[in-house]
Structure formats: structure tokens, C-alpha cells
A and B are shown apart, each in its own frame.
Chain A
Amino acid sequence: METKKFSRGQIFSLDFIIAMAIVALAIGLLLSFYQTTAAQEKEARVQNELNVIALNASNQLLEKNRCSPAGGFAGQGYKLFGCLDGSKFSSFSTSAGLSKGSLMIPEGFNCYITDMEAFGNIQILSNICPSDTPAGVTDVASVERNFVGHAGDVTKYDYERCVAGLYPLDCAGAFGQKTINVKVWKA
């Protein structure tokens, strides 16, 4: 059977049009993949930066206000990591000279800090971190830190009883397990 392959005046063959469409589609897919990957990488970088800043801010908050060892205990080189002196901490609910800078939260970043256990998830440090994450902000780092709260210096006896897991027998009233939540996002 004879078929007519080309007509007079024909500019493009169907083959050619299909081939070009496939090439355009393939390049489009490639660019779309590249764009998606680049966006995901950027998102991961931003999130990583926020995580580091939030973690560092929580470190500054907890470790700069660490419980001090009492009496002879102080001279033995102990540092009570993870124990927050409530008497120092409570002063932070007001201005008390504290700033975002002292938590090492750089300019251009915002924060919101809540005490999740002691007072039932209430906001603290409202003078420096006044409001929660605004609607529409998607990149937010949220760090929860557990710690032991104690008002005033800690004796070696009390500390060792708590570390040994005898809480709350010997620590009732003096110690409390608490959690703070630090949120950071880009302004």
C-alpha cells in the first residue's frame, strides 16, 4: 500500500513536533526537579540555623542560671548541669537587665519562651520575647529542655539523693522537674 509521506507546503512533520514536545517536557521536568531540590536544601539550612539558635538560647537561659553548690560542696569542683536556680530564674520574668542579646538571639530573629511544667505552659521572659509565632510563619525551631528547678544553693546530700533517683522522697518541695520551650523564627 502506498502512503503519502509529505505534502507540498508542509513545514513541520508530526514526528518533529512530537520530538520537540518530548524534549521540552524532559527539560521542564529536569528544571522542576532542580528547583524542588534547591528549595528543600534551603529549607533544611534555614531550619538548621534556627535549631542552633534556639538550642543556644535555651543553653544560655539554663546554664547561666545554674544552681550553685552549697558549702564545702562548692569547693569540690562540681557543676550542677541541668539544675536551674529558681530564685535567679524568677527575676527573669521582669526586665532584670535581660535582653535577647544575652540569650545570644541575634538581631533579625524573634523568640517565644514558655514554662511548660511549673506554671502550666505560661509565657516567661515576655519583656524580651513578647509574642508567639505569627500566623503564616512556617520556619520555626522549637526546643524543649527538661531541667530540675531548685530555689537557692544545693547541698551535696540533696543533690546526690536526687541523682540517685530518690526523688521525690528527699527532694519534695525543694526540687521540681520542669520543662521550658524556646521557639525561634526569623523576623
Chain B
Amino acid sequence: MLKGQVSLDLMLAIIAAVVFFGALVTYFDGLSSNVQHASAQNELKAVLLDVYAATGSVKAYGVSVEYTTPALKNSTLKECTIDVTAGAGGQIVVSTASAGVESESYENIDLSGVQVKNSAGAAITKFGCGETVTITP
């Protein structure tokens, strides 16, 4: 090799490295987006499971519970809403206004008699994550 000469090896290595890392960045972008989506979906599911368990205890033991729903930790999610429909074919739906995130729900569960009340004592069906409500049998 001559002094100051850049070898073909080095040039090829740099080109290969640039192409490789370009592909890697694209891959990780997709992966990161998938992870964010899955994380948001999991968080909604966790809220749903928590509300379901609290409602189940109220129904089984016949006790009123002052209950604070879990607050969202995922910064990409907008406020989430919990919708509890009482009755024999009841359902619990946790949804968010964030784009691309589907709502999570448990359907066809018997919630006869179950009532959700806000801090003022008024019966409600929808409330937000992080909000404190009273669930009565």
C-alpha cells in the first residue's frame, strides 16, 4: 500500500457498515413502534383487569368499595375512559382517544345490581383512569 492510500477493504467496510446500520435503524424504528403499541394495549388491559377484579369483589362479597382506578403511566396514551354497563349482559370497556390503540373489554358478564357512583354520590357509567369512585352491589 502507498502512503495515504485508502484501502478497498476499508471503503467496502464503511459502505457495508452504513447499509447494515441503516437497515438496523429501520428495523428498530418498527420494533419501537410495535413495543409502544403493545405497551399501551397492555396498560389498558391492566386497567381493565383491575376494574374487573374490584367489581367482582363487590358482587361476590356484597360490599361497597371506594375504588381508585389505576392511573396511566404510558406518556403516549391520552386519557382513558372506563365504561361499566350493569345488567345481566353487562360489560366493562376501557378505551382511550389515542390513535391506533384499540379498546379492551370484558363482555357478557353479569353485573346485575352493580352501580358506580362518583364522589358526589351520583350514579355514573363512565369514569376516567385515576379517578376515585364508589362501586356498590
Contacts and interface: CB of A to CB of B under 8 A. Distances in A.
Contacts of B42: 45
Contacts, number: 70
Interface in A87-122: 99-102, 104-108
B13 interface: yes
A159 B55 CA distance: 29
A53 B45 CA distance: 13
Contacts of B129: none
A59 B60 contact: yes
A45 B43 CA distance: 11
Contact of B9 (A16, A100, A105): A16
A56 B110 contact: no
A81 B62 CA distance: 12
B85 to A, nearest CB: 12
B12 A11 contact: yes
B1 A101 contact: no
B27 to A, nearest CB: 9
Contacts of A139: none
Given A12-B12, A101-B89, A106 B108 contact: yes
A104 B60 CA distance: 10
A64 interface: yes
A105 B109 contact: yes
B89 to A, nearest CB: 7
B45 A49 contact: yes
Contacts of A100: 108
B71 interface: no
A64 B24 CA distance: 56
Contact of A101 (B52, B55, B110): B110
Given A45-B42, A49-B45, A104 B56 contact: yes
Nearest to A97: B88
Given A11-B8, A107-B107, A60 B56 contact: yes
Interface of A: 6, 10-13, 16, 20, 23, 27, 45, 48-49, 52-53, 56, 59-60, 62-64, 81, 99-102, 104-108
Given A6-B7, A10-B8, A101-B90, 10 more contacts: A11-B9, A27-B24, A45-B42, A56-B53, A63-B60, A99-B110, A102-B110, A104-B109, A105-B109, A107-B107
Interface of B: 1, 7-9, 12-13, 16, 20, 24, 42, 45, 49, 52-53, 55-57, 59-62, 88-90, 106-110
26 contacts: A6-B1, A12-B9, A13-B9, A16-B13, A20-B16, A45-B42, A52-B52, A53-B52, A56-B53, A56-B56, A56-B57, A56-B60, A59-B57, A59-B61, A60-B59, A60-B60, A62-B60, A63-B60, A63-B61, A81-B61, A99-B110, A101-B89, A101-B108, A104-B55, A105-B109, A106-B106
